[in-house]
Structure 1
């Protein structure tokens, strides 16, 4: 229980870190990417749902029109449990180089020690590796997400509980991977480290999950989570690799 609370606190600490002098300019690009992609995709998703329900209503006889009121909550539930995570994976794939840089600068802010050179050439050199790491996370996520999504329809209650737990875990993997990857730590080793402190991991992931489900607030979750995850890394894992 203590670790769960600490995990939540680490995420929340990201809100203060994004306002720190010297870090704010590195927050801007990930924040802008999140706002543009999340805002536009929500608009198209809502429009798609409206059109889909209109089409379905035209197929249903009038005496079954009440089904629309049943289907809307189901549709919203599915979106909350799946869309936010899928979108986060895609967005972080695009923003990976900037999130990695933000994490690097947060670690410098917290420890006073550089990880890499500050040159543009050094950053560009690392971009293919960062994108490869995002691809590894995507390959890890997709088959498991498909399995849990199928279970969601077969055993709704059990499926929802497991889906939430899996989503919390994936948020932890997604954002804690940035400081681990900055130190060239293998993806499997990173997962093993996170599993060694599951309370901390699930507490952090749960906080991300909750705030990602809140409109407007979810637009700033990505840079906040990167900052919070970097503090979590510094306090709990960094000394293991020095």
Structure 2
């Protein structure tokens, strides 16, 4: 079944990040992830603590127990919504390094270089990579807003659509790196991913599950880049050679 196979591609990234010659290219994306996550988590905790303290001051003494109820609710909201926002921000900053990691994984898997660009040529390519991240962000935002509104209008149906949309966006986010390394435009990449929807949604579902787990989500980004690159090599690369 393609959904299961798509999930397997993501999990194969765990073994790829430990391979000799690839580990050093995992370090920078991982460091960015840990730094941003740790800093933002500290900010969120401080913000929530101050917010609840202010709210508790407004409540009468007999309702002070509500603070203990609000904390678990706030934590659940953060786990299922903040993870996606956090991924968007970290992937934007780490885009050049993720692109390089994907390139090295493809070299490891195929034994063939994508190009012979010098370091200077690679640096010149950074604005294009960041532009691609903006393209993904503008693709994501209006749809996320629409699905979020639908979530409140039709809760059950909206939740199903939100989960499917989240899976799709994780697939777009990470599979875009190997496609972009080969200068394949964004619309063509989406068309290719839609042609194998089972693989796409299975891969995205695995990313979504692991991203929602605290601490484990710190390593999801390089794992997903590696798994997506393997998926590219085995299912899409041949049609662009």
Do the two structures share a fold, i.e. TM-score over 0.5? yes
Deviation at 1:66, TM superposition (A): 4.1
The change in CA–CA distance for 1:158 and 1:71 in structure 2 (over 3 A counts) is farther
Q: Where in structure 2 are the equivalents of 1:178-217 lying within 5 Å?
A: 178-217=177-216
Q: How far apart, CA to CA, are the structure 2 residues paired with 1:64 and 1:166? A: 38
**Cα distance in 2, alignment partners of residues 72 and 160 from structure 1:** 22
Q: Match of 2:125, SS?
A: helix
Following the alignment from structure 2 to structure 1, what is the Cα–Cα distance between the partners of residues 146 and 65?
A: 31
- Is the 8 Å Cα contact of residues 79 and 213 (structure 2) preserved in structure 1? no
Which residue does 1:109 correspond to in 2? 108
Contact between 1:107 and 1:113, CA under 8 Å: does it hold in 2? yes
Q: Counterparts of 1:152 and 1:215 in 2: how far apart (Å)?
A: 24
Q: Which runs of 5+ in 2 are unaligned?
A: none
1:137-160 deviation digits (Å, cap 9, x = unpaired): 010111111222223333333333
- Aligned match of 2:64: 65
Computed over aligned residues only, the root mean square deviation of the Cα atoms, in angstroms, reads 1.5
Cα 1:60–1:152, aligned 2, differ >3 Å: closer, same or farther? farther
Is the Cα–Cα contact under 8 Å of residues 8 and 204 in structure 1 kept in the other structure? yes
Structure 1 gaps of 5+ residues are none
**Which residue pairs with 1:44 in the alignment?**
43
Indicate conservation of the 8 Å contact 1:81/1:163, yes or no: no
Which string of whole-angstrom CA distances, capped at 9 and with x for unpartnered residues, describes residues 8-43 of structure 1?
100000011001111111111111111101111111
1:230 Cα deviation after fit: 0.1
Partner of 1:239: 238
* TM alignment of 1:132-151, pairs within 5 A: 132-151=131-150
The answer as to 2:6 corresponding to 1:7 is yes
Q: Distance in 1 between matches of 2:24 and 2:117?
A: 15
Q: Cα–Cα, structure 1 residues 43 and 169, in superposed 2: closer, same or farther, change >3 Å?
A: same
Quick one: distance in 2 between partners of 1:212 and 1:235? 24
Q: 1:126-183, CA deviations, whole angstroms, 9 ceiling, x for partnerless residues?
A: 1011000000001011111122222333333333322222111111000000000001
Deviation at 1:125, TM superposition (A): 1.5
The alignment partner of 2:219 has SS state of helix
Per-residue CA distance 1:71-120 (angstroms, 9 max, x = gap): 33432332222211111111111100000000000001101111122521
Partner of 1:160: 159
Range with greater deviation from structure 2 (220-229 or 116-125): 116-125
Report the equivalent of 1:98.
97
- Cα shift at 1:222: 0.5
Q: What is the CA-CA distance between 1:69 and the residue it aligns to?
A: 4.2
The answer to whether the 8 A contact 1:175-1:225 is kept is yes
Check conservation: 1:14, 1:225, Cα contact below 8 A.
Answer: yes
